[in-house]
Amino acid sequence: MSVWLSVVIPAFNEERRLPETLAVILSFLRARRRTFEVVVVDDGSTDRTVEVAQKAGPEVRVLRNPGNRGKGYSVRNGMLNAQGEWRLMSDADLSTPIEELESLEAALVEGVEIAIASRAVLGANLEKRQSILRESSGRFFNLIVRWLHLPGIKDTQCGFKLFSAAAAEAAFRDSRLDGFAFDVEALVLARRAGLKISEVAVTWRNDEQSKVSFGRGVAAFVDLFRLRFRP
């Protein structure tokens, strides 16, 4: 039986948030009455992440990275091992509600291969914003992204993106970045492959528990310039 949708969730020490997140996703998708799977990719967690994921429901399967490899590695692992005709990446905090899947679906139905949630296009609804410092650094990051790699795309870092199976293969098969710039690399590879990308306005709410360390933030900027010189 073919799988309509795979939801890929990278997870590192998410035993507290994951049960509610999975319950919300499973309830929403079961109501759609189509075959789906939720792929939780454990990134070397030291808590009960794997256990709570395995207990969530029969539609959930767990992939385990060989240690703590990073969000980019986790998403790539999940996307390339998913079975769905469509493949959605979603953060464990559900900052973008699962209901926004319908907006991204509409874009794929219209003919694009990749639909990415955006907080920066007209119609986006930011119910709970980040701190001024984080918003400013995010805007600067995306300015650099547009200058170096992806002109026309205003928000590459929202962790809610829908790919066709073929697009997921094209975007992640040859990707290498394991850190937080992996989204940019995946979209760059997709554009090189001639795939159409649509930026879709969504509702988004900041989760204050979701924090990117200063070191990882700096590494993401460095990766943008490394990617510039990648053949």
CATH number at residue 104: 3.90.550.10
Contact between 15 and 94 under an 8 Å Cβ cutoff? The reply is no
* The residue to which tokens 């997921």 are assigned: 168
Contact between 196 and 112 under an 8 Å Cβ cutoff? The reply is yes
Residue 56 — very low, low, confident or very high, per pLDDT cuts 50/70/90? very high
Q: Which residue has the higher pLDDT, 41 or 206?
A: 41
Per-residue model confidence as pLDDT tens digits over 87-97? 999 999 999 99
- Does the pTM surpass 0.75? The reply is yes
Q: What's the domain range around 42?
A: 3-228
Residue 61 — very low, low, confident or very high, per pLDDT cuts 50/70/90? very high
Contact between 65 and 43 under an 8 Å Cβ cutoff? The reply is yes
Burial (0-12, 13-18, 19+ Cβ within 10 Å), 75: buried
Q: How far is CA 154 from CA 172, 200, 227, in A?
A: 21, 10, 18
Per-residue model confidence as pLDDT tens digits over 135-185? 667 788 888 888 888 999 999 989 999 999 999 999 999 999 998 899 999
Q: How many domains does the chain have?
A: 1
Per-residue model confidence as pLDDT tens digits over 98-137? 999 999 999 999 999 999 999 989 999 986 665 566 766 7
